């Protein structure tokens, strides 16, 4: 392990984290998961090595998001594959509350079952290097980790402590103690040792920069002198009267504040250079050990960062794109080099992706879904919405670039990002509210497991009239099906929306129409329905959304599933 000026053994014993003895087939892939801190998607422009070694050699995700854009909740979600309302972690701090920081994570039992324990128990050699969770006490090594090198102080890049497999070590202020470089060396050592053992490995690498105060390595100071923060159209937004009250109360940024934003951006960019070098060093180490071709290297961030957009001088935790939209690049076996996907992905997806690729059972509690089919270019249909959540708001972000936010105060926001990508014009109108998004948000906000995947999925029937198993339905009733998103009108016909008497294969004559404003199809029978008869309504997989994705009523099954329900006329 790395040298240090001070080393003190912890009093508590290290849990037995030796990998299971059962032999593991060598064909199981390795994983190196690089999780940066506060990196925006557009920060990748300053990381040429990462782009050359990962982006050009793998897949870039254009629509990768986090559901709660704050460090600890996002990291808890990554560890568990769950939304914050299921991990129980809503903030960075604890302060006696059960839902914040490392202690909140522990209080909800999350340390006992997560991506590390699942892979460890399946024979993987696991290692964490860098930031764990906010306010981690540093006195324990959590279950499931075979090599533990967790930073205790969250922001310092010099003069900091780590828990090195149960030993408290201090790193000083020499250039070699710069935290990102130390983590790079530790990760490379872990790869060396893992390849020697012959076990598949999972490395969770979490450098601090560019998190505030964003101190670069000495060799990178002045590397980007004079670089300015992005000047998006939303930078120092001139009119914020359509935004929630905390933003409405913000004055225009002063020249001094803009200069401070630029100075901080310069430090952020310079501090990212060591992270860029870490990526290069890890890839080179994998290559030199003959492990690169069987290793998935994943690069992402826990949340984004505001730099003057909507007058927000700094910070995160908002529902705006600068805060929730992440860089995500994956290189690995079966991933075609230089590819890009627009599939909507979320930080709930990492755990099920790793377990799926490792051929390990994915726990039922997981809310996310495996990215395997996306990485292999074989995902015919995919989710079309994700939940955004915070203590102060709930929202939904869709694959067709709509965003709807409900605040606890009652204030609401609605954006069409296709025409307003910088969220300048809140188009919410109480007289024409987005009923489809509001309804879907209700399904998402308390979902768990399969219910989350169903509520997120591409094309589904989310409500019907008559309802399933309804009785005493009027003979004059029409049959309606409301979809989860905008449908291709030409696909909603008598061939895809049909009505039968139960047990019969003869279709009942009817006219079928589609109302785009409500995403609702209506089947109007030519003749009155018969009293005492049970009917079966069917929407087939031939019904498609505007992107051409077919209806799939049960997204957790491998095959497309139609929607069918019964009702009885009174």
Name the one residue in this structure whose structure tokens are 């290692």: 127
Q: Please give the helix or strand (H or E) that residue 206 lies within, else none.
A: strand 201-206
Total residues belonging to the chain: 570
Q: What are phi and psi of 567, to 5 degrees?
A: -155, 160
Neighbours of 381 (CB within 10 A): 21
| Residue from 71, 72, 447, 452 carrying the catalytic annotation | 71
CA distance 128 to 248: 42
CA 420 to each of CA 64, 239, 405, 416, 472: distance values in angstroms, whole numbers, following the listed order: 19, 15, 15, 6, 47
Structural domains of the chain sorted by starting position, each given as residue range(s) with its CATH number in brackets: 63-383 (3.40.720.10), 388-456 (3.30.1120), 461-569 (2.60.40.1220)
CA distance 88 to 96: 14
DSSP characters over 57-85: TSEEETTEE-SS-SHHHHHHHHHHT--HH
| Pure H helices in 382-508 | 435-445, 450-456
Neighbours of 139 (CB within 10 A): 12
pLDDT on residue 379: 75
pLDDT on residue 2: 41
pLDDT on residue 551: 86
pLDDT on residue 557: 60
Catalytic residue check, 71: yes
Strand partners, 297: 32, 331
CA-nearest of 97, 96, 89, 94 to 73 is 89
Task: State how beta strands 510-515 and 563-569 pair.
Answer: unpaired
Structure tokens at 393: 């708001």
483 HSE (CA, 13 A, CB side): 31
User: Based on C-alpha coordinates, what's the Rg of the chain?
Assistant: 26
pLDDT on residue 458: 61
CA-nearest of 446, 444, 410 to 428 is 410
Sheet holding 510-515: strands in order across? 461-465, 479-483, 520-525, 510-515
What is the rounded end-to-end Cα distance, in angstroms, of the chain? 77
DSSP characters over 167-187: EEEEE-SSGGG-HHHHHHHHH
Residue ranges of the chain with per-residue pLDDT less than 70: 1-26, 95-96, 380, 458, 547, 555-558
Residues ≥6 apart with Cβ < 8 Å to 348: 67, 77, 81, 82, 83, 366, 367, 368, 369, 452
DSSP characters over 336-350: PTTEEE---EEGGGH
pLDDT on residue 96: 67
């Amino acid at each position: 392990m790395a040298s240090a000026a001070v080393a003190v053994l912890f009093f508590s014993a290290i849990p037995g984290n030796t990998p299971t003895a059962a032999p593991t087939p060598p064909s199981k892939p390795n994983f190196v998961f690089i999780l940066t801190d506060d990196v925006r998607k557009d920060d990748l422009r300053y990381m040429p090595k990462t782009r050359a070694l990962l982006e050009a050699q793998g897949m870039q995700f254009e629509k990768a998001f986090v559901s709660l854009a704050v460090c600890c909740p996002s990291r808890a979600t990554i560890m568990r594959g769950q939304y914050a309302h299921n991990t129980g972690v809503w903030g960075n701090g604890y302060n006696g509350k059960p839902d914040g920081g490392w202690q909140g994570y522990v209080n909800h039992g999350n340390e006992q079952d997560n991506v590390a324990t699942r892979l460890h128990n399946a024979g993987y050699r696991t290692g964490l290097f860098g930031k764990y969770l906010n306010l981690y006490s540093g006195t324990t090594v959590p279950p499931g980790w075979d090599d533990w090198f967790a930073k205790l102080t969250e922001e310092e890049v010099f003069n900091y402590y780590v828990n090195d497999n149960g030993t408290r070590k201090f790193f000083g202020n020499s250039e070699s103690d710069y935290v990102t470089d130390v983590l790079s060396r530790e990760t490379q050592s872990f790869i060396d040792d893992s390849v020697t053992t012959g076990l598949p490995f999972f490395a969770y690498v979490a450098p601090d920069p560019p998190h505030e105060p964003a101190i670069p390595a000495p060799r990178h100071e002045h590397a980007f002198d004079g670089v300015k923060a992005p000047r998006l159209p939303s930078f120092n937004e001139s009119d914020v009267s359509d935004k929630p009250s905390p933003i409405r109360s913000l004055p225009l940024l002063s020249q001094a504040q803009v200069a401070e934003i630029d100075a901080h951006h310069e430090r952020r960019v310079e501090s990212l250079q060591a992270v860029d070098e870490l990526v290069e060093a890890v890839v080179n180490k994998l290559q030199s050990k003959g492990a690169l071709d069987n290793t998935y290297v994943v690069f992402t961030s826990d949340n984004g960062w505001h730099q003057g957009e909507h007058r927000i001088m700094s910070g995160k935790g908002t529902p705006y794109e600068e805060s929730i939209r992440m860089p995500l690049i994956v290189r690995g076996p079966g991933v075609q080099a230089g590819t890009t996907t627009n599939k909507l992905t979320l930080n709930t997806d990492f755990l099920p992706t790793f377990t799926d690729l490792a051929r390990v059972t994915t726990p039922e509690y997981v809310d996310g879904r495996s990215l395997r089919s996306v990485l292999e270019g074989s995902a015919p249909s995919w989710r079309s919405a994700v939940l955004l959540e915070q203590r102060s708001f709930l929202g939904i972000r869709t694959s067709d670039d709509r965003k709807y936010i409900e605040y606890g105060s009652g204030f609401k926001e609605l954006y069409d990002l296709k025409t307003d990508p910088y969220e300048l014009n809140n188009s919410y109108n109480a007289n024409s509210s987005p009923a489809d998004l509001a309804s879907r948000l209700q399904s998402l906000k308390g979902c768990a497991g399969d219910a989350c995947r169903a509520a997120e999925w591409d094309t589904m029937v989310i409500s019907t009239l008559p309802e399933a198993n309804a009785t005493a339905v009027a003979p004059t009733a029409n049959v309606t099906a409301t979809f989860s998103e905008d449908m291709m009108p030409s696909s909603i016909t008598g061939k895809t929306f049909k009505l039968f008497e139960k047990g019969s294969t003869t279709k009942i004559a009817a006219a079928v129409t589609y109302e785009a404003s409500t995403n609702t199809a209506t089947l109007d029978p030519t003749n009155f329905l018969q009293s005492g008869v049970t009917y079966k309504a069917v929407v087939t997989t031939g019904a498609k959304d505007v992107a051409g994705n077919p209806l799939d009523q049960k997204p957790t099954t491998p095959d497309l599933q139609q929607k069918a329900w019964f009702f009885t006329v009174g």
